[in-house]
Structure 1
Amino acid sequence: MHIVAWLIVACEIGFWIFIIAGLVTRYLFNKEKAGLFLLAMTPIVDLVLLVVTSIDVYRGAEITGAHSIAPIYLAISIVYGKSMIRWADERFLYYVKREGPKPIRRIGMDYAKHSMKGSLQHVLAYLIGGVLLLLMIFYIGKPSETEILWRTLQVWGIVVLIDIVISVTYFISPLK
């Protein structure tokens, strides 16, 4: 397996380690600032992945699907990071510490609006990740080597459209 693929696995593990460590530090050890610092490290993990991927590409590595994932990870982390941490925060507080309100179970139009908000965040992540992918494509400059990056951009675009269509259906037929 390619080094970037292994790094993706390591970064995903690191991402969750920082989230869990941040929540444990924040709530079990009552160190609010230290916990927030650990939670704030999650996008740094993704930035490291992007930097290593860029160095690998710069050194002339064969471009693989793993290379196209780094910009996606960073974009998702930037756009969804705060809401993912809030989601984990609420559940940790309620289920582990047994404090705070029970996490909201959304239904009906509330669920539809929440889903559409997530879809619009997905569009923003696509725009950010797409720009990063395009920068990689134009930097490499060889269509034969960047085909997988273009395909990733296209497939991700289709996934974003499907995400939006699903969200629209919740307005047409709200969950009960």
Structure 2
Amino acid sequence: MILVAIIACEVGFWVAIGAGLIARYAFDRPRLGRMLLLAAPAIDLVLLALVALDLMGGGTASWHHGLAALYIGISVAYGHRMIAWADAKFASRFRGAAPRPRLFGSAYTIACWKDVARTMLAAVIAAGLLGGLIALVGDEARTAELLGFFPILGMIVAIDLLWAVSYSISPKRSPATARE
């Protein structure tokens, strides 16, 4: 059930964003668009409530519950950036705004390090949610699966950190420079 809820919330997240941007740009309804965009974080709260209710109702934690915590952490940490990216695409398509420039060199490296900070924030949020769920349920046997997600969070941060370090050592070159 939780896996279905996660999928439904992910779909709902993007539907809210898409509907908000369509309302803002295609129908020139910025207030409606803003309200729809604000629905995206509310969807995370719905998922959190569903996970908590499932576990409080006697459910045993599975990897789905850990995935829900990770999803919420990523959604909170990266949500604004994802919405800004989609907003720029819509502005370019419907209003003729200049597309965002592609990043290369030190600008790309700086963006990678900002992503490390976002990923660390996502991991801290997910870890806090996992710890909160473990404490809320108070039954080690039913929440043992959630403990297995802490190393996964560390691995995700480590991979993103290695990504940033690799581009610090060898910055991403522009296509024109790469051909030379």
TM-score range, shorter chain: over 0.9
Residue identity in the other structure for 1:104:
P
Q: Is the 8 A contact 1:19 1:42 kept in 2?
A: yes
Of residues 11-20 and 134-143 in structure 1, the stretch that sits farther from structure 2 once superposed is: 134-143
Q: Does residue 1:136 correspond to 2:114, yes or no?
A: no
Report the equivalent of 1:58: 56
Pairing 1:156-167 to 2, within 5 Å after superposition: 156-167=153-164
- Deviation (angstroms), 1:35: 0.5
Report the equivalent of 2:5: 7
- Deviation (angstroms), 1:82: 1.1
Report the equivalent of 2:81: 83
Which of 20, 23, 28 lines up with 2:21 in the alignment? 23
Structure 1: gaps spanning 5 or more residues: none
TM-score relative to the length of structure 2: 0.91
- Deviation (angstroms), 1:174: 0.2
Residue 148 of structure 2 aligns to a residue in which SS?
helix
* Per-residue deviation, residues 94-128 of structure 1 (Å, max 9, x unmatched): 1x315111122000110000011011111011111
Pairing 1:94-109 to 2, within 5 Å after superposition: 94=92, 96-97=93-94, 99-109=96-106
Structure 2: gaps spanning 5 or more residues: 174-180
Q: Aligned partners of 1:174 and 1:162: how far apart in 2?
A: 17
Report the equivalent of 1:68: 66
Of residues 157-166 and 109-118 in structure 1, the stretch that sits farther from structure 2 once superposed is: 157-166
Residue 135 of structure 1 aligns to a residue in which SS?
helix
Question: How large is the Cα RMSD of the aligned pairs?
Answer: 1.3
Report the equivalent of 1:36: 34
TM-score relative to the length of structure 1: 0.93
Number of aligned residues? 173
